[in-house]
Every structure is written in C-alpha cells, then in structure tokens.
Amino acid sequence: MANPSLQLPAEARILEFQERIFGFYASSARRFPWRMTRDRYAVMVSEVMLQQTQAERVVPKYLDWLGRFPDPGALAEAPLRDVLMLWSGLGYNSRARRLQECARLVMEEYGGEVPGDPALLRRLPGIGRYTSHSIPAFADNLDVAAVDTNIRRILIHEFSLPEDASDRALQEVADRVLPQGRSRDWHNALMDYGALHLTSRQSGIRSRSRQSKFEGSRRWYRGCVLRELLEQGTVPQDDLMLRHAACPGGIGSVVDELVRERMVEYVPGGSENGTLLRIRE
C-alpha cells in the first residue's frame, strides 16, 4: 500500500519548477475555445468532454454543444435523444447523460448557476475530486490544485515520487507547488507540458488505469445499441440479441445496464415483433 504522505519539495525546488513550467507555457501554449471563457457551465462541459478524449476531437463537439445547449437550462430541458445525438463520436455516452443530470440539479438547487465551491460541485452527478477542482481553477482562477493523469505523471517525474504514491500524497504535493493567484495559467501550463513534452512515452510513467481493446468490448456493444436506437427510433430486443450474440456477458446485460442508467427504456405495450427498446424520453 502506498505511503499516504511524502516529503514535500523545498521552496527553491518549487520556484525552479514553476519557472520552467511557465517558461514552456509562454512559448508553447495551445489555444482552445474553452480557455477563452470564464463561464463555469462552459468549463464544466469542456472538462467532462475532455475525460479520456483528445482535445482536438473535443473542439468541434464543444462548439456544437454550446451552440445547441448554451446554458444549464437549455441542456436540462432537452430530450435525451438530442443530447446523445450531439455527443455521438466522443464515446463514453454515459458522460452525456450525467452532464444533463448535472444541468438539471444546477437548475433545481443552484438557480441555474454552476457552483464554484468544490464541495458543492462534488454533489453533482459524475463530478469527482479532479473536476470539482478544475472547474473553479479554470473558470474562477481559484487557488485549488487539480490532479489528473497528466499532472500526476509530471509530479512523479519532476519530484522523483514513487509511481504508487497515493492520491492523498500527490494532492499534498500539488497543493504545495501551486503558485497562488495563477491557478488558471498554472493548470493550463501543466496540461500542455504533459501533452506536448513530458508524455507517458517520454517519461515511462504509466497511468493507473490502462484501456483495454475497444472493439468487441462491452463498451463497444453499448455504443452499438445506442447508435441503433438513435438511428432507428425503436429496435426489437430480439433483433439486438441476434445481431450482437458475441457480446461478452450477453447483450441482454448491456441493455439492462443502459436501462438502469436511465439511458434506454422499454416501449410500453411492445409490438408484434416482441419487446421494443428506445432512448429514454
């Protein structure tokens, strides 16, 4: 088990590290539309989209999303079909559903304004420690350190930390090296440093979770089911069973999972073709 605490870096070492990261950022900063906004909702959308998805792929979807759902109210009221159609291509479709659930809770509990307090953000569906810190860091320049896969890799490499360092220990180091008053630029700089310079291949440091083969996986079959429902409206469950007989664990369990997640529902009454499925209305 990883030691919960580590020796924190000395002040001189921190200053050198900050200077180097900001120096890299000054010459190599990337430009993305979400870096141009201070709106917490827009930042939340970008942060959810960027989870396990390359930034370049996110840009057009982000712009289309804000064009169609410019605020929490618009997203909260939208049919789930529209939400999933727009999300299509980003993968991990459950993120779209959770984002809509976030919007609805924001409308119900926070008067339509995404909160800036990390503790309140953690109450929103699908918002974990990293995102609850990154949203106010980027939107409000709040002095709170956010640690994702890239930043974890940088901290481990730069300060010679063990790769099995606990989340708590890494958070302590991240808090220690955060330059006060420059949280937004600092996190953008770290993101660019990790994406362009200190990559996983360059550092040899592996992420904690490694993605398995996608095609033929349960996640792949989830996407197949949702895509068919979006394209056809309703689909007989028996047809899915026949087409996707090779699904690990059975396509029926995938359907059950989507129903539990409130993404798919059974059509009342069914049809002469048996039980029908559709995107939840």
Indicate which residues carry an active-site annotation.
47
Give yes or no for a contact between 198 and 159, defined as CB atoms under 8 angstroms apart: no
Q: What are the start-end ranges of the E strands in 170-263? A: 234-236
Distance CA 194, CA 149 (A): 9
225: Cβ–Cβ under 8 A, 6 or more apart, which residues? 235, 240, 244, 251, 254, 255, 258, 264, 277
Distance CA 149, CA 215 (A): 24
Q: Which residue has the tokens 């009221």?
A: 77
Q: Could you give phi then psi for residue 46, rounded to 5 degrees?
A: -65, -40
Nearest residue to 189 (alpha-carbon basis) of 28, 33, 9: 28
DSSP assignment letter at 235: E
For CA atoms 77, 83, 86, 92, the dihedral sign is positive
